[in-house]
Amino acid sequence: MKDCPPAVQKTMQEQSKGATIRGISKEMEKGKTVYELELMVNGHSKDMLIDTAGNVIEVEEQMAINQLPAPVRTEIEKQAGKGKITKLESLSKGGSVVAYEAVIKTGAKSREVKVDTGGKLIPGK
């Protein structure tokens, strides 16, 4: 954390209160430097991207299937078919959930599906 800009350090300290820091990394997203903060909060993972000004630009938070809105759950279960849902996350930008991501394992293969807040499949994942 000490290698991050002061604004990023401040945000990381605020966001990690009561959580365990699993990792911190510096990445390039769309040509811009961002910092990823990986946390463990109350037994589930929560990862966030923070820009160089210290703004949280994206949050991925692990969740259980029963926490999903009904249309989202229906679509993810449909996409899973006979496969097993191994990971579920909400994706938030600007403080609001914009999508849900699921990792589905069928046999030896895993794939990721992304569904919007209304339960519609988002192509490309």
- The CATH number of residue 25's host domain is 3.10.450.360
- Has residue 125 got a pLDDT over 90? no
Q: How confident is the model at residue 3 (pLDDT cuts 50, 70, 90)?
A: confident
Percent over 70 (pLDDT), the chain: 99
Residues 52-107: tens digit of each pLDDT: 999 999 999 999 999 999 999 999 999 999 999 999 999 999 999 999 999 999 99
Q: What is each CA distance from 37 to 11, 41, 52, in whole angstroms?
A: 10, 12, 13
81: left (phi over 0), alpha (psi -120 to 50) or beta: left
Q: Name the residue range of residue 70's domain.
A: 63-125
Domain endpoint, select from 56, 72, 89: 56
Domain count across the chain? 2
